[in-house]
Amino acid sequence: MSQAATTPASTPIIRHVVTAPHLVHGCGSLDRLLDYLPLLNRPVRRIALITQPSMDRLGVTERLVTMLQGDDIQTTVVRGVMPEPTIDNIETVFLEQIAPTQPDAILAVGGGSVLDAAKLFAVRLTNGEQTDATATTPLRDWLGVDKIALPGVPLIAVPTTSGTGSEVTPNAIVTLPDESLKVGIVSRHLMPYLVLLDATLTVSVPKPITAATGMDAFVHALESYISTKANPVSDMYAMASMRLIGANLVQAYENGSDLAAREAMLLGSTYGGMALTAAGTAAVHALAYPLGGMFDVTHGVANAMLLPHVMAFNLDAIEPRLAEVARALNLAATSDSDAKAATNLMQQIVSWTAALAIPQDLTAFGVRDEHVDALAAAASKVTRLLGNNPKTLTLDDMRAIYRRLLP
């Protein structure tokens, strides 16, 4: 039987909260990159630019190379980071494209996968054997929390989607194909040094990615708000994130050229990243990881599908917190009961997934009832996140949640 987790102290402990030392927010901020390089506090003569095909198509890669080389900075364009990258993919790209050039800094322009890989590239340059392809990569040794010994080279993170918040988190998520699971590497040394939030880079994001990443950002904020580690700092960022995303997600999806909506979504995503850094996500993410590892369900889609069902499971432990969110998002009146307000929020989440064309049926991804035991077993290994959930989940609880997505 499910049990409520230990009730947090009435005066929560605020753990050490970290974020990127330098954040620049504003449309066109990437165009002023050279003005911000002195913030790195070291000479930069060689940069590895980690990018993705969409930035090539939009001319962003060429623009950056021209800008940097015009300042006599040797620039190596690094391609090949997979969506939802595996450990082997990250190591191969590092050994073949980055280690030989020994960059002074890394510039990552892309979505969460690019940013997460870039974090690991930065610390690979300063931890472990760098060039010997026969050497054992330290990446597997770093799985978990605080296992990286030394800071990496300075990392400049420029997100091009409004979802992961990776630009302000000490986390990098990698796929382990042999275990059909996604796992986190968490270290203070993974925090980017300089972040540029330029919403003009997000206006061309396709609708399905806008939907998935936007819901991912909302999940970051909501799970941080109901986490057993929630505290005044995480609450502040989580609530700011949910207000921005709640008011702008559908508009950004339906009208991608609306720069005001895109800017609000980008800032909301970053606030969500700050919230999860301070409090952590919970069971939604834990159950989402096996769906990505075993069935290639995009992370944001998996989170959006699971969110209503995990919140329903948690409801008796978090109803007042959900009610606070509902009132902040103008989904309930102050006179409404907590039960009504919480119900309104959960109904709104379901409405968002419908408006954003996010499926609610795992069979579309090849999931069948016979896979549920393996999914639950894999999710149960994500103890780092399950420990943040306000209620303890048994294997039977996890199976039941997955089956709700198998009509």
> Going edge to edge, which strands form the sheet with 194-197?
22-25, 194-197, 155-159, 105-110, 46-50, 74-78
What's the distance, Cα to Cα, between the start and end of the chain in Å?
24
d(CA 384, CA 402): 20
Q: Identify the H or E element spanning 270.
A: helix 259-279
**E strand or H helix that includes residue 144:** strand 144-145
Give 64-110 pLDDT, tens digit per residue: 999 999 999 999 999 999 998 999 999 999 999 999 999 999 999 99
Tell me what pLDDT residue 14 has. Answer: 47
Q: Tell me what pLDDT residue 182 has.
A: 85
pLDDT tens digits, 191-237: 999 999 999 999 999 999 999 999 999 999 999 999 999 999 999 99
pLDDT of residue 158: 98
Indicate the pLDDT class of residue 130, thresholds 50, 70 and 90: low
Do the domains 204-403 and 29-197 match in fold?
A: no
* pLDDT top residue among 397 and 138: 397
pLDDT at 315: 97
Distance CA 138, CA 118 (A): 15
Query: Does pLDDT of 5 surpass 70?
Result: no
**Where do the structural domains in the chain lie, given as residue ranges?**
29-197, 204-403
pLDDT digit string, tens, across residues 160-198: 999 999 999 999 999 988 887 888 899 999 999 999 999
Mean pLDDT of 325-353: 97
Q: List the CATH code of the domain at 29-197.
A: 3.40.50.1970
CATH number of 204-403: 1.20.1090.10
| Band of residue 363 on the pLDDT scale cut at 50, 70, 90 | very high
Please count the other Cβ atoms lying within 10 Å of the Cβ belonging to residue 363.
Answer: 12
Q: Give the model's confidence band at 17: pLDDT under 50 very low, under 70 low, under 90 confident, else very high.
A: low
Distance of CA 394 to the CA centre of its chain: 26
- Per-residue model confidence as pLDDT tens digits over 250-309: 999 999 999 999 999 999 999 999 999 999 999 999 999 999 989 999 999 999 999 999
The pairing of strands 171-176 and 105-110 is unpaired
How much is the mean pLDDT over the chain?
Answer: 93
Task: Average the pLDDT over 244-254 and give the result.
Answer: 98
For range 9-34, the mean pLDDT: 78
Q: Which residue has the higher pLDDT, 293 or 344?
A: 344
Task: Tell me the C-alpha distance between 180 and 293, whole Å.
Answer: 4
What pLDDT is stored for residue 7 in this prediction? 38
Question: Amino acid letter at 11?
Answer: T
What percent of the chain has pLDDT above 90? 89
- CA–CA separation, 204 vs 256, rounded Å? 7
Report d(CA 307, CA 363) in Å as an integer: 17
- Sorted by sequence, the CB contacts under 8 Å of residue 28 that are 6+ apart come out as 198, 200
